Amino acid sequence: MSHYFDHAATSPMREAAREAWLRHAGHRNAGGQYASGRAARGALEGAREEIAALLGAEPVEVVFTGSGTEADNIAVLGLYRASALNRAVGSAVEHPAVREALAHLGSREGAEVEWLPVDAGGHVCDLSALDRPAAVATCMYANNETGALQPVERVVAAARAVGTPVHIDAVQALGRCAVDFRALGATTLAGSAHKFGGPRGVGLLLARRSPAPQPPLFGGGQERGLRPGTQDVAGAAATAAALREALAEREAEARRQGLLRDRLLREVLATVEDVRVNTAQPALPGHLSLSFPGAEGDSLIMLLDSLGVEAATGSACHSGVNRASEVLLAMGVPEREARGTVRFTLGPETSEKDVEYLAAHLPGVVRRARAAGMA
């Protein structure tokens, strides 16, 4: 039996989402002007309306995309290109979907990119780069590696005070936090269905009417022209069903997962020496990022896997080289420690038994990984 601790990477599809997906899998093209097209459009628009209501947006502001990555790219590149300014600001701990888009603007489109620094807990701590107007400012709602909740309200207020459009990457937060697009006041916001029990391959972009991103894709004009292409009706319906359920159980799950996470942390600190805790409050309730100096992250992951525990280092490994996470380096974690990191992320079906099993096996895993040493 496997013990799954990688819900930040993807969460199993909820039963309600599978049912909605199957119910709508037979739809034809939602652009069709005949009866079956109207039926498809009805289902698509129903999903859009429900998602809008759940997230405090208007239906016209909900744009279905193919992933969270795509939503982030459309927003960051599109808002930059829609502006006459050539400055862009992002936090130092953005997901590659945002970080690489900003880096592209810097290296290929003449943008002057500035990064908002974070403190040792991974929270954005200095907003002064937002004092000057920019084409786009972007800050994630919650960090994917540490779970750190960012001061997005203050980021939006500071950016808007000088007329800068703001993008919020809420991929880790949707379904886990009470996100209200209108109250937040952001220009655009990205989400991803598979993080809250919807299907993989469906992203959400909330985009105000104005200022609208300049579309980076060209085609038949679907999704306000921001994400042209024949729409995935079943995926949209399944996303709405998953979000409805995730938000209905959100508070109870946050409490439950928070208690399990705290218990795991207590047991690890009591049984393993020299542990660095990278997850600092305020953070998502199901996240726990830990570093074990002297061990290589890859070794820890492989040893855990051999015992049926599925967890991630939290950072992408490029061509087999175990690199330290840029997020942890931005927090000031020394490289050697950052390389020995494992991210445990809990989800709706994580049980006490999973946590007990992990807590019982982790000390041995760390011992063996430390004995194997660093590459």
Q: Which of these is catalytic: 125, 139, 177, 317?
A: 317
Polymer length of the chain: 375
Give the residue with the Cβ less far from ligand PLP, 272 or 327.
Answer: 327
CA dihedral 266, 272, 277, 281 (to 10 degrees): 0
Residues 196 to 255 in contact with ligand PLP, rule: CB under 6 A: 203
Our CB check for ligand PLP shows the closer of 69 and 279 to be 69
Residue of 192, 322, 341, 350 that binds ligand PLP (CB under 6 A): 192
Shortest gap between Cβ of 147 and ligand PLP (angstroms)?
Answer: 10
Residue from 140, 268, 327, 331 binding ligand PLP (CB under 6 A): 140
Regarding 312 and contact with ligand PLP (CB under 6 A), the answer is no
* Residue placing its CB nearer to ligand PLP in the complex, 80 or 141: 141
97 is a contact residue toward ligand PLP (CB under 6 A): yes
Q: Which is nearer to ligand PLP, 68 or 340 (CB)?
A: 68
Closest CB to ligand PLP: residue number:
68
138 contacts ligand PLP (rule: CB under 6 A): no
Least distance to ligand PLP, CB of residue 179, Å? 13
The torsion of the CA quartet 249, 250, 256, 257, rounded to 10 degrees, works out to 130
**Which residues from 142-171 bind ligand PLP, rule CB under 6 A?**
144, 169, 171
Q: Taking the complex as a whole, how short is the minimal distance between the CB of residue 336 and ligand PLP, in angstroms?
A: 25
Residue 95 contacts ligand PLP per CB under 6 A: yes
- Give the binding-site size for ligand PLP (rule: CB under 6 A): 13
Please, which residue, 11 or 187, has the CB nearer to ligand PLP?
11
Closest distance to ligand PLP from the beta carbon of 318 (Å): 16
Our CB check for ligand PLP shows the closer of 241 and 284 to be 284
The least distance separating ligand PLP from the CB of residue 254, rounded to whole angstroms, comes to: 18
Rounded to a whole number of angstroms, the minimum distance from the CB of residue 144 to ligand PLP is 3
The span from the CA of 327 to the CA of 143, in Å, is 9
CB of 200 to ligand PLP, least distance (A): 7
Helical axes 233-248 vs 35-55, angle rounded to 10°: 30
In three-state form (DSSP H/G/I as H, E/B as E, the rest C), the secondary structure along the chain is CCEECECCCCCCCCHHHHHHHHHHCCCCCCCCCCHHHHHHHHHHHHHHHHHHHHHCCCHHHEEEECCHHHHHHHHHHHHHHCCCCCEEEEECCCCHHHHHHHHHHHHHCCCEEEEECECCCCCECCCHHHCCCCCEEEEECECCCCCEECCHHHHHHHHHHCCCCEEEECCCCECCECCCHHHHCCCEEEEEHHHCCCCCCCEEEEECCCCCCCCCCCCCCCHHHCCCCCCCHHHHHHHHHHHHHHHHCHHHHHHHHHHHHHHHHHHHHHHCCCCEECCCCCECCCEEEEECCCCCHHHHHHHHHHCCEECECCCCCECCECCCCHHHHHCCCCHHHHCCEEEEECCCCCCHHHHHHHHHHHHHHHHHHHHHCCC
Please state at what angle helix 352-372 crosses helix 297-306, rounded to 10 degrees: 130
Indicate if 125 belongs to the active site.
no
Pick the closer one to ligand PLP by CB: 238 or 268: 238
Segment 43-82, which members bind ligand PLP (CB under 6 A)?
67-69, 72
- As annotated, the active-site residues are 317
Task: Write out the residues near ligand PLP by the rule CB under 6 A.
Answer: 67-69, 72, 95, 97, 140, 144, 169, 171-172, 192, 203
